[in-house]
Structure 1
Amino acid sequence: MKKLAIFDFDGTIFNSITDVIICFNKALSVNGFPTLTYEEYIEILGGNIDELVSLSLKDKNTPENMELVKNTYDEIYGTSNRENSLPFDGMHEVLLELQKKGILLAINSNRKNDSIKKFIGKYYSDIDFKAIEGHNPAYPSKPRPCGVKKMLHKLKVSKDDAIYIGDSSTDIKTAKNAEIDCVIVKWGYGDPEDYVDEYILDAIEKPSDIFNFF
């Protein structure tokens, strides 16, 4: 049985895309850049904030423009009430049950640690995540496996005893680079092509399907 479940955050245990799009489009508009549609955001999500800004600006992604939009977004998002950002239905119950079973829980995301911890404190305060590895400029972001490897070392868990649960191709690549098993969820922001990737163990329909791997 697996001992460690490493979860992606956005699109896997937390539904945050609506507020991200609202705030990001405000940041683009305020600075005179074209806004993007939901479908366009889905195509460019998965990387860290710098990659998202660069892709959203397209051919106008100069260092100056990127810094301008990123700073504006950070300010707008930081002061937003983020009323549309909520846990996916059923995820809290699944995490509680895994915790009761003695499974170690962790988060690996390209969202900043402080932001992750704020949401965890508000909605998952009774879940003891043993490690949280978010975006840190000092380390390469997903799909590089730095965060996963740090977790395995910290928690003294072998690669065979860990499983990565995410929603996108970035998560599949992260798991593959870390040489651990991967499961993809269908309720997130991934592409249907991700659901048939040869590397994954399965693509699941609902949070309770996670129990199949424990």
Structure 2
Amino acid sequence: MKKLAIFDFDGTLFDSICDVVICFNKALTDHNLPTLTREEYIPCLGGNIDEIISLVLGENCTPQNLEAVKETYLEYYNASKKELTLPFPNSYEVLKKLQDKNILLAINSNRLNYSLNEFVQRHFSDIDFVAIEGHDYPHPSKPHPYGVNKIMDMANVKADDAVYIGDSITDIKTAQNAGIDCILVTWGYGNENDYENEYVSYVIDDICDLLSLFEEN
């Protein structure tokens, strides 16, 4: 059985896109730039905030636009109550059961650390994560394995005893770059190509399926 479960955040533990869309579209409107639909935002997700904004802006991406939109977006997002950002159903219950099985739990995301900690404290305050690693400038973001390697060092766990659980190609590449197994979930922001990636050990449609997988491994 694996000793360490490292979870992606957006699209894996939390359904976060609605608040992101609202705040991004406000920022884009403020700078007279085209807004996007929810479906158009989904392929832009997965990277760090600069990478996301670059994809959102598309042909309008200039260094000036990127910095302006990022500053305005973060102002809107940080001031927002973010009431639409919620854990996916049963995620808390599964984390609690894994914790009761003495599985070490961690989060690795391209969100900034303060944002991760805000939601963890709000919804998962009694889950004892061994580490919560967001994108820590100037260190590299996912899919670089920096965050995963740091988590494994903190947990004193080897790669063979860890598994990465995510929803998209970014998570697959992160796991692959770190040399650990990958479980992909289908309720997030991935697509069929991701689910068919040969590096993925398991694809699950229900987070409760993790419990049986940790019994089998």
User: Partner residue of 1:53?
Assistant: 53
Distance in 1 (CA, whole Å) between partners of 2:187 and 2:58 is 28
User: Partner residue of 2:193?
Assistant: 193
2:166 is aligned with 1:166: yes
Supply the RMSD in Å over aligned alpha carbons. Answer: 0.7
User: Partner residue of 1:76?
Assistant: 76
- On the 8 A contact 1:2/1:213 being kept in 2, the answer is no
Shift of 1:205: 0.7
Distance in 2 (CA, whole Å) between partners of 1:9 and 1:132 is 10
Shift of 1:52: 0.8
Q: Say how many residue pairs are matched.
A: 214
2:116 is aligned with 1:113: no
User: Partner residue of 2:92?
Assistant: 92
User: Partner residue of 2:210?
Assistant: 210
Q: Which 4+ runs in 1 deviate beyond 4 A? A: none
Distance in 1 (CA, whole Å) between partners of 2:201 and 2:59 is 38
| Percent of residue pairs identical | 58
Amino acid of the residue matched to residue 15 of structure 2? N
Amino acid of the residue matched to residue 149 of structure 1? N
Shift of 1:213: 2.4
The one-character-per-residue Cα deviations of 1:60-98 (angstroms, maximum 9, x if unpaired) are 211111110000000001111111110000000000000
TM-score (norm 1): 0.98
Amino acid of the residue matched to residue 27 of structure 1? A
2:27 is aligned with 1:9: no
Secondary structure at 1:107's aligned position in 2? strand
Shift of 1:212: 2.5
Secondary structure at 2:208's aligned position in 1? helix
- On the 8 A contact 1:7/1:166 being kept in 2, the answer is yes
